[in-house]
A = this chain, B = another copy of it.
Amino acid sequence: MSQQNILIIGAVALGPKVACRVKRVDPDANVVMIDQGELISYGGCGIPYFISGDVSSADELRNTSFHMLRDVKFFEDCKGVNVLLNIKAIDIDRQRKTVKAEDLKTGQEREFPYDKLVIATGSVPKRLNIPGSELPGVYTISGLDKAIEIRNEIASGKVGKAVVIGAGAIGLEMAEALSDMWGIETCVLEVMDQILPGIISYDMAKMARYHMEEHGIRFYLSEKAVRFEGKDRVEKVITDKREIETDLVVVAIGVEPNTELAKKAGLELSPLGGILVNEYMQTSDPDIYAGGDCVCIKNLITEKFSYFPLGSLANRQGRVIGTNICGGKQRFEGAVGSFVIKLFDIAVASAGLSIQTAKKEGFDSFSAFVAQFDRAHFYPEKEMMFLELVVENGTGRVLGIQGLGKSKDAVMGRVGAIAGILKYRPHVSDVSNFELPYSPPFSSAMDILNAVANVAENIMQGKAQMIDLKTFAEWWINRNKEDILFLDCREWGNAGAYVEKYPDIWKNIPQGQLKKRISEVPKDKKIVLICNTGVRSYEAQLILKHHGYKNSYNLQGGMAAVKNMGLDIVINF
């Protein structure tokens, strides 16, 4: 076919994908891939599992599924791609279509010609510029080489205590890795007031945090590291609230696009910093493509350019770039943002916008939160699942979903399903009638996915008036300051203990008796309705409304959510 020169800068995720795809579509193309490091084509997302020891050696992250190491020889023999290591690209000459680079081993300058260029320079971790950051034992994971250093330190037995800074995905995965497999006493420091900020709601984050606390991780939220101290290596993290002794610090406060080269070449950047690309993954220079962690792409919900540094997007974009370089016209429309993480025994997943993000982005929105078994409730093996659906007021447009539960793949399945339809601008009723495959060992006839949409619709139509768990906790703490009654709609077996402990403010009327006993409910108090998951208390709310009560609030997720937040009120307040 063409014999065109394809030059790829960066050989970790997107780069190799482009290279291989190009050779598959156009075997005659001359594909050269350069990288400034020694380790290429590895699964960076696997680093926490390498640190933990789940993945036994670093080479496993570099192997194919059939156990061949993806090294220079592999790319040459199996893929027909020429890979050069320790070559750092310095400058792009867009007129002459060449890239100037430095051989980091010899210091010599080299020049590479291209017909099409691919920038796959990825991201760089954000640094904490506070005193002591350069002390040994303070790590920022910037690649597999750094990960190997950390694991060597841990394996040497030197590390008894660790501090992770940042409660985003990588921070939490690292905390689990250090604590679970190596028994290191681990705490997580986060400047925001919740873990996974921007990804899940405050309530759901609290549930996830409680689960991690039960597994021995300590959290310091709304707290900031101000310096690191130590003689030969880090010994202490000083925050704005305390001193924490430690043997190791992992800084995981996010990444930013590595765009130095693109900037220098005058390519257009997004205000967020990433390289701007069109739907064909072309930069402002049509002969230069870019993808992966160094670009910004369209957020299909907000329609703004956003930054999604994810290995999965890099791989898919890589294929699109490879196709288009060879004359194809494949589109990469953008992303809705989908996310999943394993935290000990639970999965937390998200697609689209969380309620906080939706509001920040200017959507007049609310969220519905539901607790329900993940399978038919009569099926013996089942777990409680929690879903939160984010919906635009008025239009009923679904903006996002988040989930949490112990059946990890089942949580991922529900959230992944919505991830797929978000770009079609679904209405709440599309989720109400979402056609999840049904069979008792897998789902409910009215699955939790349908249920959370039904609840959202009920809220939208003014039928259901809910309170979230944060509000519930606040009201409970201030329960003596205002006229409030907690009306427990369960049977006595569940409600009794609460009534006995708090006879003045906790009342039990099983939902089936409410109509007959309606006169027992005071009309002048704020009524908080409670049951196990929020279903019976919703029925109770409808009865109250029908009888003229206007001031009732249904606790979303019920006592199941309360317990999973570690908030069990009889015990904790």
Point out residues on A near B: beta carbons under 8 Å. 13, 17, 24-25, 27, 43, 45-46, 49, 54-55, 60-61, 63-66, 68, 74, 77-80, 169, 310-316, 319-320, 330-333, 335-336, 338-342, 347, 349-351, 372-373, 376-380, 407-410, 412-421, 424, 429, 432-447, 450, 454, 463, 490-491, 511-513, 515, 531-533, 535-536, 539, 542-543, 546
Contact = CB atoms under 8 A, between A and B. Distances in A.
B532 A43 contact: no
Contacts of A439: 45, 169, 339-342
Contacts of A339: 437, 439
Contact of A546 (B27, B376, B410, B543): B27
Q: Name the residue in A310, A429, A445, A532 with the highest tally of chain B Cβ atoms < 10 Å from its Cβ.
A: A445
B432 A319 contact: yes
A409 B412 CA distance: 9
14 contacts: A55-B378, A66-B491, A78-B536, A312-B435, A312-B446, A319-B446, A338-B437, A339-B437, A347-B442, A409-B409, A410-B413, A413-B417, A419-B437, A421-B421
A79 B429 CA distance: 24
A377 B77 contact: no
A352 to B, nearest CB: 10
Nearest to A48: B440
A515 to B, nearest CB: 7
A407 B413 CA distance: 12
How many copies make up the complex? 2
Nearest to A341: B439
A465 to B, nearest CB: 14
A445 B331 contact: no
A206 B351 CA distance: 36
Nearest to A60: B378
Contacts of A311: 438, 445
A506 to B, nearest CB: 18
Contact of A437 (B350, B378, B444): B350
A419 B442 contact: no
Given A66-B490, A378-B60, A416-B417, A43 B440 contact: yes
A416 B419 contact: no
Contact of A539 (B78, B351, B419, B491): B78
Nearest to A310: B438
Nearest to A377: B65
Nearest to A543: B27
A13 B445 CA distance: 9
Given A77-B512, A416-B413, A65 B533 contact: yes
A351 B435 contact: yes
Given A43-B376, A379-B49, A410-B413, A445 B312 contact: yes
A408 B442 contact: yes
B440 A416 contact: no
A45 B407 CA distance: 21
B316 A433 contact: yes
Nearest to A531: B66
A312 B441 CA distance: 13
Contacts of A63: 377-378
Contact of A512 (B78, B454, B533): B78
Given A316-B446, A511-B78, A332 B433 contact: yes
B314 A435 contact: no
A441 B542 contact: no
Given A410-B412, A415-B437, 19 more contacts: A24-B463, A27-B542, A43-B440, A46-B379, A65-B532, A66-B535, A312-B444, A315-B450, A319-B432, A339-B437, A340-B437, A340-B438, A340-B439, A340-B443, A342-B441, A409-B412, A412-B413, A417-B419, A419-B436
